[in-house]
A and B are shown apart, each in its own frame.
Chain A
Amino acid sequence: MIVRTGLASIIVLRLVFRDWWLLSTTPGPLFDPVFAASWMSGPPSRLLVTVLWAVGLAGAIACVLGVRTHLAFIVAWVAHVELCAMWSSSGKVMHNDVLLLWACVPFLFAAAPRRHQLDEVDERWGWAPRSSLAIIAAIYFLAGVQKLRHSGLEWVFSDNLSWVLRQGQSPLGAEISRDVAAFTWLTIAAAGTSLAFEVGAPVLLALRHTRAIFAVVMGLFHLSIWFLLGLDYYGWILTLVVVILPQAPLPRAVTARISRRIGAARLPSDWRPDRASRSGRRSL
């Protein structure tokens, strides 16, 4: 439940912190609908955007509050997908929302526990977080494989990342990116680490004890991309946090403190002392 609530919370943030109404300012001939918006013949009207935004936000908030959780999550997801599709149809296809949208897919099909079932372990909702984890692993794995397929090891052992940094647009100023790019050993090490974690994602996320490491390392990479290139990937960082960390064994001191606050029975199974995740392993 904590993962579904977390994903719905990210949808709330994505809906609130973007000026979706600007979509209606796209000149008609320059609106090039992507697959998920292929039913549209032109840019959306302000009214359509407002309706989708309001419905999506209401659904996401209802899900967070536990009101008709499953239906609310589906409504929020569909509205968010359509708004993102319209945004991607207005100039440049965006990947910022892709991890979040795909990580949500299992929860569209998995039942949600009712209020009195929140501390019950059941296959009906236990499989979705594991499935979401597998989807995230596949996305990172394919991103890594595509680098090897199209560039080979030259992607790591060359000036590649240095030139990515020099040609980026850091919100903190071009000098910072250029200064970092000057350390070739650092950019090669960063590229190698990034590629290793991407290609190794299926293993790192399959093993319970490396999940948190993966989330932290890749989160830091996304954060550095934000600072050094000006590309906003906070949606990816938050998705890693809400999907992976509840399924990763955290230090006992941390889980004990959370347990005292909310009760052990409400902890994610991987944070519980007896590792009740056996039910999750059985669910796929």
Chain B
Amino acid sequence: MSVWYVDDVAVASADDRPASATPTPGPSRPATRWVARGVTIGVLVVFAFAAWNTVEAWPITSFRLFSQVRTANASSTTLVAIDADGDAHPVEADPDHPFVPRTKHEYPLLRDATPARAHAMVDAWLRAAGMDPDDFVAVELRRKSLVYAPDGSSRHVTGERTTWRLRL
């Protein structure tokens, strides 16, 4: 038999409890409390450590969401392939491919990649763009500085520099 409460007053047995009643809290469970504290505090400690040290190890993240101030000045990095005549050709993946366009975020990995891995990544980007790696002698990462029009409707390049180069 249970005791039920309405407005903190015990009123009835389980058999004739009123519709608005709720059961009494169950027994105290110290082990459960320790698990509850351990899980909650453990997660919060992981969060605090990741945030303080800017750890990005998904799903552990530092929660830097839109944390940088944006202005009219921006930058972008593009991958270009250089042919034997020295002409530069932008490496642009098929925009309809579900993942390759998003892999632009992996450009910074090229700087620290081993030559073999860098060649493999570049080869994948060139092929995804429908370009034959044998037609080119090198690839470069170029960082463009951009300035937006005051209303944001257009932007123009104010500078460009090569930040990384790989001979094919």
* A interface residues (Cβ-Cβ under 8 A, vs B): 19, 22-23, 25-30, 32, 34-36, 81, 84-85, 88, 90-93, 95, 97-98, 101-102, 105-106, 109-110, 119-124, 126-128, 131, 134-135, 138-139, 142-143, 145-147, 149-151, 154-155, 158-160, 163-167, 174, 177-178, 181-182, 259, 263-265, 269, 272-274, 276, 278-279, 282-284
Contacts and interface: CB of A to CB of B under 8 A. Distances in A.
Contacts of A149: 67
Nearest to B152: A166
B82 to A, nearest CB: 20
Given A178-B153, A276-B25, A158 B35 contact: no
Contacts of A102: 43, 59
Contacts, number: 220
Given A30-B124, A124-B32, A147-B67, A91 B21 contact: no
Given A124-B26, A178-B151, 19 more contacts: A29-B123, A91-B106, A98-B59, A98-B61, A105-B39, A109-B39, A110-B36, A151-B67, A151-B68, A163-B148, A164-B70, A178-B152, A265-B23, A272-B20, A272-B22, A274-B5, A283-B33, A283-B36, A284-B40
A154 B71 CA distance: 11
A154 B99 contact: no
* Interface size class, chain B: 35 or more
Contacts of A81: 59
A120 B64 contact: no
Given A135-B40, A135-B44, A35 B60 contact: yes
Contact of B152 (A138, A155, A167): A167
B128 A27 contact: yes
